[in-house]
Structure 1
Amino acid sequence: MNKPYIVGLAGGSGSGKSSFIRDLAALLPPAVVAVVQQDNYYLPRSQQKADGNGKINFDVPDAIDRKTLFNDVEMLRNGCPVEKEEYTFNHPDKKPQILTIAPAPIVFVEGLFVFHFSELARLFDVRIFLDADDSVMLERRLLRDASERGYPMEEVLYQWHHHVMPAYQQFLMPYRSEAHIVVNNNTDYRKALEVMADHLHSII
């Protein structure tokens, strides 16, 4: 089996990473895409570190099970399926699903720190950085975390100012210049989707 073409996609919280991957996959033939989301590799809450105010900080690389994330991408790269328990965020009573990720010709690896993890970044054939204004990302984060993940708005705002933006400056922006493609997603990314879909169609 030929090695898959691996696409790494990073960007700030609320930049639209998951939406971009979903919409890009929809433009490709079925069963040619595998998606690995860093969000499913958070360590258990008991292993997370608190900030100076005693608040757990999920927006640091140490919050991620980096070794398992890398190993799972390597398994897909070698043609092996992966099983991973989904992360349920602020829903402790929700029974997590077991996600089965089948090997595919194209593998998307998406998350905040996928460029920062050097051993992972070396596997990427192309790197995409999703960009958006801070105000746009905050608006999307408020909508997502309050409505979908069950976080109080005060907590979302605290995380944004004390965790999210410092992490963005330290662990994401230094890698923006290393991306092959930078997508501005203040409004929409249709043109970038078309370009990437054409590129990936030429590979499969």
Structure 2
Amino acid sequence: MTKAYVIGIAGGSASGKSTFSDSLEKELQTLRIQTFHMDKYFKPKENRPVTEAPITGKIYMDDNHPETVDLAKLKEDFFAVLEEQYDVIIIEGLLTLWDKDIYQACDLKLFVDCKADERIVRRIRRNMTWGLTYDQITDVYLDMVRYRHDEYVEPTKWRADLILNGSLPIRQALDIIACYIKTAHSTGKDG
């Protein structure tokens, strides 16, 4: 390949995007890889949007809105790396397939789909390890996250080349995608 093969991975909160991305990176470790996790580009808390929940009227920091991510910095870093000598670039996050510039730069677009009930259970387990209470996690999910998912994340599913089942073990999908990328790299074809 003369240019890096770019893989975009999107999906809902706690759908398995990061898990799949990390596993894919390990599977492709013989190649030169750069990975971008959108979560690492959250703006400082004081610069994130605050929104009123549509039903309860409670005010929340809106971490599932495009304005919460420093997309300008992410795109600056991402597009700079496209000029470097990487074989594969992975970019994953809620808005990977929402942002037009990022979406158009991807050679392979994946959406990790997972039912809402499973995602909320995963989110509760994960966020409780971060010190949040059950009520804090469920309140923000029910008041904000699910609405932002419907607004910004779910519609991007139809931009994906492949939709992965986030409820199943990832081994088979991982093997197929890694094999495809390794073959494209070894033959010099970019998809």
**What letter matches 2:135 in structure 1?**
E
Name the one with the larger helix percent: 2
Instruction: State the Cα distance separating 1:2 from its structure 2 match.
Output: 3.0
Three-state SS of the structure 1 residue aligned to 2:143 is helix
Aligned partner of 1:198 among 176, 179, 184: 179
User: Structure 1 vs Structure 2: percent identity of aligned residues?
Assistant: 22
Q: Deviations over 1:109-150 (max 9, x none)?
A: 000011111111110001000001111111111111111x22
Q: Secondary structure at the match of 1:107?
A: strand
Per the alignment, residue 43 of structure 1 pairs with 43
| 2:27 equivalent to 1:22 | no
The two structures, once aligned, show a CA RMSD in angstroms of: 1.4
What is aligned with 2:62? Answer: 57
2:31, 2:160 → 1: CA distance?
Answer: 26
1:71 alignment counterpart: 76
Q: Which amino acid aligns with 1:20?
A: F
1:2 counterpart residue number: 2
Match of 2:88 in 1: 106
Alignment gaps of 5+ in structure 2: 53-57, 186-191
User: 2:120 maps to what in 1?
Assistant: 138
CA distance in 2, matches of 1:78, 1:162: 41
d(CA) in 1 for partners of 2:94 and 2:18?
11
Once the two structures are TM-superposed, the CA of residue 5 in structure 1 deviates from its matched residue by 0.7
Letter in 2 for 1:77: L
Determine the structure 1 residue equivalent to 2:108.
Answer: 126
- 2:41–2:69 CA contact under 8 A, matched in 1: yes
What's the secondary structure of 1:30's corresponding residue?
coil
- Alignment partners' CA distance in 2, 1:38 and 1:28: 20
User: What is the letter of the counterpart of residue 9 of structure 2?
Assistant: L
Q: Which amino acid aligns with 1:172?
A: V
Partner of 1:99 in structure 2?
none
Per the TM alignment, residue 30 of structure 1 is displaced from its structure 2 partner at its CA by: 3.5
- Aligned residue identity for 1:68: K
Does structure 1 retain, via aligned residues, the 8 Å contact 2:31–2:88? no
Letter in structure 2 aligned against 1:49: P
> Residues 142-173 of structure 1: CA distance to partner in whole angstroms, max 9, x if unpaired?
111111x2222211111211221111111111
Distance 2:29 2:62 in 1: 38
